[in-house]
Structure 1
């Protein structure tokens, strides 16, 4: 069990590097408010379309999605495939390891 913790830390560190692609549009600091996209702190297990101060597409706001790791993985792979009609202009990250690392990083953003 203790051997898994360093692996998760490694993944989160790699995910922080992957997040640099996301940081163009998203912050991780709720005090800074939204950029082009909503802040992604505490996104894991949050209901989609609920960050105060950000105007979501009606498709995303009405989706009812809870951002579980699996749902985030699918969305980051191909946003338009998970929520057709969303406004996120991002083609996705096809590499499964990069998506897993990114999600590990997002899980560290609790506040």
Structure 2
């Protein structure tokens, strides 16, 4: 009986867990970023660097992109945690950055954006 109750509870919570990080919703949020950033197999640097393989990559390290001095001086590897803080206020977190985006404040949208970005490896292919 206990196992049945636990199973029903787990199934009931599944839709909420799935919504916690929704890559498809994240793709729609990324439309805001697409003005400056690309992602995927054909991604190139633009106004901002391409974002393939973002998590686990050293900040300011995309070949061929001209970073601000603020980014050149960073000693940071992108993680979900520091990206979450950064994307809320890029200029506040990294004064001197060229990024003019005012920030994404909504926690659900941030989680969805992270789910979307996390799909892409350094080669631009979906994992």
Task: Tell me, yes or no, whether TM beats 0.5.
Answer: yes
TM-score (structure 2 length as normaliser): 0.78
Q: For 1:7 and 1:90, locate their aligned partners in 2 and report how far apart those are by CA, in whole Å.
A: 28
Residue among 89, 108, 111 paired with 1:100: 111
| Structure 1 residue 29 displacement after superposition | 3.4
Cα distance per residue 1:9-40 (max 9 Å; x no partner) = 96111111100000110000364420100000
- 1:14 pairs with 2:18: no
Match of 1:43 in 2: 54
Q: For 1:45 and 1:17, locate their aligned partners in 2 and report how far apart those are by CA, in whole Å.
A: 23
Q: Which runs of 5+ in 1 are unaligned?
A: none
Which structure has the greater CA radius of gyration? 2
- 1:59 pairs with 2:70: yes
Q: Which runs of 5+ in 2 are unaligned?
A: 1-9
Asked if the contact 2:88–2:104 (Cα under 8 Å) also holds between the matched residues in 1, the reply is yes
Match of 1:81 in 2: 92
| Structure 1 residue 85 displacement after superposition | 0.9
Question: How big is the alpha-carbon RMSD for the aligned residues of Structure 1 and Structure 2?
Answer: 2.2
TM-score (structure 1 length as normaliser): 0.88
Asked if the contact 2:20–2:111 (Cα under 8 Å) also holds between the matched residues in 1, the reply is no
Q: For 1:30 and 1:84, locate their aligned partners in 2 and report how far apart those are by CA, in whole Å.
A: 31
| Number of equivalent positions | 110
